[in-house]
Structure 1
Amino acid sequence: MSVSVRLATLEDAEALLAIYAPYVTDTAVTFDYEVPDLEAFKKRMIQIMAFYPYLVAEEAGSILGYAYASAFHARAAYAWSAEVTIYLAMENKGKGFGTKLYQALERYLTKMGILNCNACIASTACESPYLANHSQLFHEKMGYQLVGKFHQVGYKFDQWFDMIWMEKMLGDHNLAITKPKSIQEVLVNDKNNC
């Protein structure tokens, strides 16, 4: 079977929440303390999907992981930047699914006119059973650069964790730019050009 990447739907929410939950309960990858309920998770998805791509990787109908982009900041001048996020089912790490998801996500973001991808990543300088810095290594492999570090800003499992920012430039930063398109505008344009 081959792995495919597609746009997420609200029908995927339960499977995506099942992937996210162990990151909340067992790791410091996310600084959430409690797993959101299904309705809260769907609301997050709806907010993101209103403008940005929200993708799932699946094989034989089984969802392996997901990735999405969201607003980097609410102020208008940040419109060309997006925050990127990825979660894979624990048993699916290191198999290339994350690479497929991010490649597809970056293709969509480029079509939208997004120039900067920013990733907010939990980090630790000390060995921890809750965080192994795999996300930082993955982002480095995908061409992201470390641009900032906030020391001991997240407290979870009775220990402090750092937070780093990594970025990747998707396009040229020239002065002749247009406002980014929504994912819906990109999909309509792609459909019309088939």
Structure 2
Amino acid sequence: MPDFTLRTAEEADAPAMLALYAPYVTDTTVSSEYEPPSLSEFVGRMRTYGEKLPWLVCTYGDEVVGYGYASPHRRRAAYQWSCETSIYVARDFHRRGIAGALYNALFELLAMQGYYNIFVGITSPNETSMKFHKAMGFVISGAYQDSMYKFGKWRDVLWMAKSLRPHEGEPQPTVPFPALRESPVVSRVLRQAGQHIRG
């Protein structure tokens, strides 16, 4: 039987990641996009965000069955210690602990980099996602009311937040993820997080 593995994403994973993501665009309100991005656009996002922040995949044997990544929360300087996270899991692999494992790895890696805050936007209603994020330590921080229009309806976007460290003193510059990517500590974080996935 194949094993589940967490590792850092490579550009070669992009087609499989995009195929996993596309149904979230076309069939759900989880994504605010109307059409799935092209492969070149998706790779461009990986390159742009990956200059500073981690992209992770979960594989089952050779198959990509989930991925998660962080992106900037805002572009201006004062927001540089905050980021947003997104997790996507293949439908046939829900309820295996993959999303939780990806999040736990991201939490530890982002804390290592020096980030303070993670934000996530959840299109309402989505009670399952809200409960999951609460279980992962997120708290409700606000909502953008009637801010998203998809599938013929205006929708609220609920924002939830998780603090990675105490907000004390002056923050130090964050460390770009590529500077840590090959370190044994990152390998340990991914290995330990992956151990909680249920086969």
TM > 0.5 between the two?
A: yes
Give the fraction of aligned pairs with identical amino acids, expressed as a percent: 36
CA RMSD between the two structures: 1.6
Q: List runs of 5+ in structure 2 lacking aligned partners.
A: 189-199
**Per-residue deviation, residues 21-40 of structure 1 (Å, max 9, x unmatched):** 00111001111001111111
Runs of 4+ in 1 over 4 A off after TM superposition: 188-191
Q: List runs of 5+ in structure 1 lacking aligned partners.
A: 125-131
Are 2:77 and 1:83 equivalent residues in the alignment? no
Q: Read off the aligned partner of 1:20 and give its amino acid letter.
A: Y
- Report what 1:128 is aligned to: none
Are 2:158 and 1:164 equivalent residues in the alignment? yes
Q: How many residues align?
A: 185
Shift of 1:81: 0.8
| TM-score normalised by L of structure 1 | 0.90
- Tell me whether 50-59 or 173-182 shows the greater mean CA deviation: 173-182
Shift of 1:47: 0.7
Q: Read off the aligned partner of 1:101 and give its amino acid letter.
A: L
Q: In the aligned structure 2, how far is the partner of 1:172 from the partner of 1:138?
A: 23
Q: In the aligned structure 2, how far is the partner of 1:121 from the partner of 1:33?
A: 16
Q: Read off the aligned partner of 2:177 and give its amino acid letter.
A: I
| TM-score normalised by L of structure 2 | 0.88
Say whether the 8 Å CA contact 1:23–1:30 is kept in structure 2: yes
Say whether the 8 Å CA contact 1:122–1:133 is kept in structure 2: no
- Report what 2:69 is aligned to: 68
Name the SS of the counterpart of 1:18 in structure 2. Answer: helix
Say whether the 8 Å CA contact 1:115–1:170 is kept in structure 2: yes
Q: In the aligned structure 1, how far is the partner of 2:153 from the partner of 2:33?
A: 14
